[in-house]
Amino acid sequence: MSQERLARRYLLLRPLGSGGMGRVWLARDEMLDREVAVKELTLPEGLPPQERAELIARAAREAQATAQLRHPGIVALHDVVVEHDRPWLVMELLRGRTLGDAVREHGPMPQEYAARIGAEMLDALSAAHARGLQHRDVKPGNVFLTDSGRVVLTDFGIARQEGQATLTEQGLMIGSPGFIAPERLEGDPGGPASDVWSLGATLFTAVTGAPAYGGTAAERIRATLTRPVPHAPGPLGPVIAAMMAPHPAARPPAPQLIQALRQVAAGQQAQLPAHHEATTPVRVRKRGRPLLWVAVAAVAAVVVAAATTTVLLMRDRASGGVPEAFTAPMDVCSLLGEEEVGLFLRTQQPPKATPGSDEVGPRCQWPIQGSGVELQVQKDSDTRDPWAMTPETARTLFANQRRWWDTHDKLDWTWPEIGTKASVPVTRTPVRTIAGVGEEAFAFELKGGTGRIHTAIVHYRLSNLVVFVGYTALSERLGDEDIKQAAVKAAQATERALRHAG
C-alpha cells in the first residue's frame, strides 16, 4: 500500500486496475472520511514541457466537462488534482461488476432486466448529449452494475465535447471494434445517434451472450460496415435493431427508445414508430471511400489506441517458439509445479496452491510460515482478462507498471498468510532492467526497517502477457542475493511453463 497523499487529502490505498492511459486506485478522502476511486492519467514520455502543460490543461478541461454531468447513471467526478506532473481524477467508488463480467459469468440476461439496463443507460447518455458530450466507448465493459442495484455508465475518458478534440484522440479512431457505429468507422465524428448504436450493440451482447459481430478487429469492423444487423431474440429484438440501424437518421430519438425499453422492462410489447420499424432492415449504403482502406486504417488506429480497445492476435508463429498471443485461458497455479515450489521455499512439504483473482488478474500463492511465492498474470483495466491482451496493450501496461514503481519507493507491506499480521513500512530498492526473463523484464526488492531485503519482485512480459512474480523470505538464514535469485528463478520457471503451454 502506498502512503502517498494527493492534495494532502486523498490517501492512495491500493491499485484497482491499470490501462493504457494510467492506473485506477482505491483511495480514502481523509477530509470527508470516505473511499473514492482515483484515476492516475499517464501522459506520453518525452514530451516538451510546453506540450506537456497543454495536455494537462486539456485534461483538466475535459474533466470539467465531465464534472458538469449530474446523473445517477453516470459515475460522479469529485475532483481533479495535478501532482507529479500529471492529472489525477477523483471519482466515486463503485462496488459491483461490469455488464460484460456478468454476461461471461451467467450467460444471457433476461429480457426485462436487459431492457431496464438499456433504459437507464440511454437516460444517462441523453443527459450527457444535452450538454454536448458524447461518450464514444459504450460497451459491456463500461456499463457497471453496482451491488446496490444502480446501473452506471463509466469511463468518460475518451468522451468528446462538440467542437473539441480530446486528450486521448490525437487524430485517431477511438473505441472498441464491434461497438463503434458505422458512421464513425467512415471517419465521421459521430453524434448522439452514434452512442445509441453502441448501446444497441451492448444490449445485443446482454441478451444473446455474444457480440453482434465477432472475429478479429478487422472482421468486426468489416461486418459493421457491410453486414446486416443480426437478429436478437425476444421482445427486445426490434428495439435493438432500431438502435443499430446503419443510418443515424433511421435510429429513433432517445425518448421514443427509452419508452420502448421501459415497456419491455415492464413485460409489455415495445411500441416503436412504424417508420422506424419499416426501415430497420439494413441497407448497406455506398461508401465514399474504399471499404478495405477504412477497415485497415481503423484497425491501425485501434492498435494505437490500446487504452480503450482489445484486439486479439490469434496467429502463432510458424517457426515455433512464443506465440504472437496467448489467447487460451489457463490455470495460473499450473505455472509452478509442486517440486519447484518446494525447492524455492526450501521445504520437503510444499504448500498447496492458493488461487485467487482481483481487478488486476488471476493470481496464485504458495505461502508457508515466514516464506512464500506469489504469481499473477495481469491485465489493464480496459481488457476483460489477460488472455484478451495484445502485445501492444501488454507493452503499454508493462511500461506503465515500471513508470509507477520508479516513482513510488515508500510502501506499506503485509502478507498475513505467512505470518505478518500487520502492515509494515518498507523501502523499495531501485528498479532495474534484467535479462533472461521474457521479452522484457524489470526487478526490485523491498527492505524492512533493518535494511535487510525480505521480498524480491520480478515483472516480465512475454508476448501479450504481463507477469508478476514475488518471493518472500522473512528468515535471516537467506541473504539478500539468495532472495533476489530465488525470485528470478521462479520467474524463469513460469516463463518456461508459458512457452510450453503456448
Catalytic residue list: 137
Task: Residue 487: name the closest of 471, 475, 466 by CA.
Answer: 471
CA distance 8 to 178: 42
CA distance 155 to 162: 18
Quickly tell me which residue has 421514443 as its cell.
Answer: 256
Handedness of CA 300, 305, 310, 312 (dihedral sign): positive
In DSSP terms, which residues pair with 432 in a beta bridge? 443
One-letter amino acid of 291: L
Give the DSSP letter string of 230-286: PPPPSTTHHHHHHHT-SSGGGSPPHHHHHHHHHHHHTTS-----HHHHHH-S---PP
In DSSP terms, which residues pair with 38 in a beta bridge? 25, 90
CA distance 236 to 26: 37
In sequence order, the 6+-apart residues with CB closer than 8 A to the CB of 417 are 354, 365, 367, 372
Burial class (CB in 10 A: 0-12, 13-18, 19+), 341: buried
Annotated binding residue 39 = yes
Q: Are 103 and 117 in contact (CB under 8 A)?
A: no
For the chain, the maximum distance between any two Cα atoms, rounded to a whole number of angstroms, is: 80
What are the binding residues? Answer: 39
Binding residues for ATP are 39
